[in-house]
Amino acid sequence: MSYSIQNRVNMCRGLIAGTAFLIAHLSAAQAQEIDLEQAMDPLVEGAVDSTQTPLPLDQIKDFAEIFIRIKRNYVEPVSDEQLLDYAVEGMLNGLDPHSLYMKADRLEELNEGTTGRFGGLGMEVMMEDGFVKIVAPIDDTPAAEAGLRTGDLIIRINGKAISGSSLSDATEQMRGEPGTKVTLTILRETQADPFEVELERAVINVKTVRRVRMNDQIGYLRVSQFQTGTAESFRKELNRLRDKETFAGLILDLRNNPGGLLNSAVSIADIFITEGSIVSTKGRLPQNDQEFLASPNDMLEGKPLVVLINAGSASASEIVAGALQDHKRGLVLGMPSFGKGSVQTVMHVGEDVGIKLTTARYFTPSGRSIQAAGIVPDVMVAPREFKSPTAVMERLTENDLLGHLENKDAPSRNANSAELIEMLSNDYQLNEAFNLINALVLYQRPNPSPAQDPTATKGEKAG
């Protein structure tokens, strides 16, 4: 290897500053000929971390030696570019499950995920113990329709074990042309044996906000992800619920919402919170310390709010739930959330190359860290199946008896719609949230004055 001294210096500089390990082309003996400390001096100019430690030069030399031995002795030829990609990928994967090395296709996927249109199966995933773990399936996608759940481990893709693969390799295998099929082998905590699921890839157009008017008083808004237009859609759907004079309370469903854009989450929390902090971030560098404050406006005008979360509620979902809980603006119901309390920054380090690096932690308004702790609901309700409530709803009453006496003063009976009965019959947590929001609405209703109260007796005084 006939490199000039200047080339060697440049290669060392690239290894430390940009993780481009071109120094590995030097043998250990050649590396020792360079004054490495002098070559690295310019790299620490402008460093803001006063605790920065000296560069581990011995390990850099070891890396160079390992690189050369792989090149010379591996059973099959392997390109320099591939080895360098593996090295950078391994370095980032070793930090935490959310730091990633991204080439052009991965950067494109990241952009697709924030805009809400992409091809694939429709689920948020992460690496855990060498397997791909499902954080949350996205509503109305092949993953959700196939019954995949939060916490499921994907151990094989098309029969090929993925243990040892990178997350980007696994997601690339699951993506493909819409209409083509892929078979996943799933390991589920509640089942002893793995099982296979065949899914058909589709173009994923994520509608992130869904609205249901449960009855005249109660509205329901589900947010499946926090993307570029989510906050604007949320305001529009909330306005459609508010247009009824009898509207009195809202259920906000954040279950199985894997997160998304921080600004989108802050905007939605700000719809309900009128003052103070919504969320803060803290990192090693001053530019990573931020605080997001509420504006003085509550679109719900103080009406009761119940927030649904579960183990699939992560990141931005936890920011919203934590802010509403700390400000006592909404009651949180369900199961503890995922616990992803870290901030990732996308950094472009070259043409069509970038890294997603964890740079800070989230903190709720009261100063709680979400990381590995999650949001603990105010009302714990585990998901479960129960016998259909329709049998109770349809029991015989006085009103059903032939020839019953009429009551002209009786309020009209607001019959539950078939859609509502179906929703509540299939979702125990939502059923409990519906009961709770109705109780809160009733509790908040002002007491009638004696003149308005038809049951009050003339001349009676309280106490």
Predicted confidence at residue 11, as pLDDT, reads 42
Instruction: Decide: 258 and 124 in contact? Cβ < 8 Å.
Output: yes
50 noted as active-site residue: no
Predicted confidence at residue 176, as pLDDT, reads 83
Span 164-178, pLDDT tens digits: 777 878 888 898 888
Mean pLDDT of 19-24: 40
459 phi/psi in degrees, rounded to 5: 85, -15
For residue 130, pLDDT beyond 50: yes
Cross-strand bridge partners of residue 375: none
First to last CA, the chain: 100
CA gap 154, 132 in Å, rounded: 5
**Percent of residues, the chain, with pLDDT higher than 90:** 58
Question: Catalytic pick from 165, 303, 326, 356?
Answer: 326
Question: What are the extents of the domains in the chain?
Answer: 5-48+55-78, 117-205, 209-380
For residue 242, pLDDT beyond 90: yes
Mean pLDDT of 323-335: 98
Cross-strand bridge partners of residue 356: 100, 346
DSSP secondary structure letters along 347-370: EEEETTEEEEEEEEEEE-TTS-B-
Query: What is the 8-class DSSP label of residue 374?
Result: -
Span 344-387, pLDDT tens digits: 998 998 888 999 999 999 999 999 999 999 999 999 999 987 65
Mean pLDDT of 316-344: 97
Could you tell me which of 126, 429, 127 has the C-alpha nearest to residue 255? 429
Q: What is the CATH number of domain 209-380?
A: 3.90.226.10
Q: Which amino acid is at 55?
A: L
Span 281-294, pLDDT tens digits: 999 999 999 999 99
Question: Catalytic pick from 61, 133, 303, 340?
Answer: 340
Question: Catalytic pick from 224, 264, 315, 317?
Answer: 315
Mean pLDDT of 177-193: 92
CA gap 48, 458 in Å, rounded: 78
340 noted as active-site residue: yes
Instruction: Decide: 307 and 331 in contact? Cβ < 8 Å.
Output: yes
Q: Per mean pLDDT, which range of 131-135, 230-234, 300-304 is the poorest?
A: 131-135
Span 143-153, pLDDT tens digits: 999 999 988 99
* Residue 6 half-sphere exposure toward CB, CA atoms < 13 A: 0
Mean pLDDT of 1-24: 40
317 phi/psi in degrees, rounded to 5: -60, -40
Question: If you classify domain 117-205 with CATH, what class do you get?
Answer: mainly beta
The predicted model scores a pTM of 0.74
Predicted confidence at residue 23, as pLDDT, reads 41
Predicted confidence at residue 171, as pLDDT, reads 87
User: Average per-residue pLDDT in the chain?
Assistant: 82
Q: Per mean pLDDT, which range of 41-50, 68-77, 190-199, 332-341 is the poorest?
A: 41-50
Mean pLDDT of 276-285: 97
The sign one gets for the Cα dihedral 351, 261, 423, 154 is positive
Span 50-93, pLDDT tens digits: 456 788 889 999 999 999 999 999 999 999 999 999 999 999 99
Span 395-441, pLDDT tens digits: 677 777 888 788 777 655 555 677 788 788 889 999 999 999 999 99
The beta strands (E) that lie in 315-408 are given as 331-334, 342-350, 353-363, 379-380
CA gap 309, 410 in Å, rounded: 38
* Bridge pairing between strands 290-293 and 117-120: unpaired
Predicted confidence at residue 128, as pLDDT, reads 80
Which tokens go with 387?
């016998």
Span 193-213, pLDDT tens digits: 999 999 999 987 778 999 999
Looking at per-residue confidence, does 140 or 109 come out higher? 140
Instruction: Decide: 136 and 225 in contact? Cβ < 8 Å.
Output: no
Predicted confidence at residue 140, as pLDDT, reads 85
Predicted confidence at residue 138, as pLDDT, reads 83
Q: Per mean pLDDT, which range of 42-56, 154-168, 174-188 is the poorest?
A: 42-56
270 noted as active-site residue: no
